Structure 1
Amino acid sequence: MNMEIQAALDVADETDSFLQITDVIYDKESEVGYDELNEAEKTVFCIDQLLREMENGGFVQFIHHEAGARAHDTHEALERIRAKASADVLSGIIAFFDDGQVPVDEDDRIAAFDLIESEHADDIASMDDRFYDSGENLVEMTLRFVQKNLKDFR
Structure 2
Amino acid sequence: MVRPKKNRIVKFNPDVVYFKPRGIPIFDLEEVSLTIDEREAIRLADLLGLSHEDAGREMGVSRATFGRIVQRARKIVADALITGKAIKVEGGHYNIIEATRKFICCACDHGWEEPFGTGRTKGCPSCKSENIQRVKGKLVKM
User: Which has the larger strand fraction?
Assistant: 2
User: Which has the larger helix fraction?
Assistant: 1
Give me the TM-score of the superposition, normalised by structure 1: 0.26
Larger Rg: 2
